[in-house]
């Protein structure tokens, strides 16, 4: 056993937690090394000192001084004015009440502007017109040109147009990979 192992096992030896073989090895090292014996006795003395605390005596004036100090602090608390309800608006100080009301007003203004007005929603004119007028309007000439070919012609820069192919499905189901 070396010195480091001995130091690690001192507390186990004093608590009787070593096995018989370890205890014999520890005691043989203790007999052969005088420094180990001094170290063991030092640890024993330290443990005894920690287990038996000395009585600590306070001065005779300690308790009366402590009681006087407690009474002074109690009187300070009793003499303080109660500021908990003085000058509060709904439980807030005036500055905090102003900030809360400003935040509430901002919230209401933003909410009104964000959400649409449901009472004045725009309805389509077809639904709002009487049925007879819509039928009569069908007989009148339209303001929109009947020739829509120029409107619907593909732009030369438009690359999304699908080439026109005449596909005949012949009333049969065609799968995607089948050639037509």
- Whether 146 shows a pLDDT value over 70: the answer reads no
Q: What is the pLDDT of residue 114?
A: 87
Is residue 32 one of the residues assigned to a domain?
yes
Q: What is the pLDDT of residue 120?
A: 56
pTM: 0.32
Phi, psi (deg, nearest 5) at residue 80: -70, 140
Q: Which one-letter DSSP state was computed for residue 131? A: H
Is residue 8 one of the residues assigned to a domain?
yes
What 170-175 contacts at long range (C-beta under 8 Å, 24+ apart), as own/partner pairs, is: none
pLDDT tens track for 2-42: 888 888 899 899 888 999 999 999 999 989 988 999 999 99
Is residue 155 one of the residues assigned to a domain?
no
Q: Distance between CA 42 and CA 52 in Å, rounded? A: 16
For CA atoms 127, 130, 132, 138, give the dihedral sign. negative
Check if the beta carbon of residue 10 is closer than 8 Å to that of residue 40. yes
Share above pLDDT 90 across residues of the chain, in percent, rounded to a whole number: 29
pLDDT tens track for 164-180: 666 666 676 766 775 65
Domain membership of residue 11 as a residue range:
3-51
Is residue 34 one of the residues assigned to a domain?
yes
Is residue 91 one of the residues assigned to a domain?
yes
Is residue 18 one of the residues assigned to a domain?
yes
Is residue 161 one of the residues assigned to a domain?
no
- In the chain, the number of structural domains is 2
Q: Distance between CA 50 and CA 32 in Å, rounded? A: 29
Is residue 106 one of the residues assigned to a domain?
yes
Q: What is the pLDDT of residue 131?
A: 52
Q: Which one-letter DSSP state was computed for residue 139? A: H
């Amino acid at each position: 056993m070396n010195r480091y192992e001995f130091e690690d096992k001192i507390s186990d030896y004093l608590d009787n937690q070593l096995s018989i073989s370890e205890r014999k090895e520890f005691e043989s090292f203790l007999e052969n090394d005088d420094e180990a014996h001094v170290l063991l006795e030092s640890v024993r003395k330290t443990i005894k000192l920690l287990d038996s605390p000395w009585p600590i005596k306070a001065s005779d004036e300690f308790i009366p001084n402590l009681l006087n100090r407690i009474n002074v602090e109690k009187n300070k608390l009793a003499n303080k004015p109660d500021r908990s309800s003085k000058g509060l608006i709904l439980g807030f100080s005036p500055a905090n009440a102003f900030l809360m009301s400003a935040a509430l007003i901002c919230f209401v203004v933003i909410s009104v502007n964000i959400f649409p007005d449901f009472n004045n929603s725009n309805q389509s004119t077809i639904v709002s017109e009487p049925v007879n007028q819509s039928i009569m309007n069908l007989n009148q000439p339209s303001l929109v040109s009947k020739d829509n070919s120029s409107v619907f012609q593909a732009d030369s820069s438009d690359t999304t147009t699908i080439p026109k192919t005449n596909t005949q499905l012949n009333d049969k189901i065609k799968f995607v990979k089948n050639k037509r």
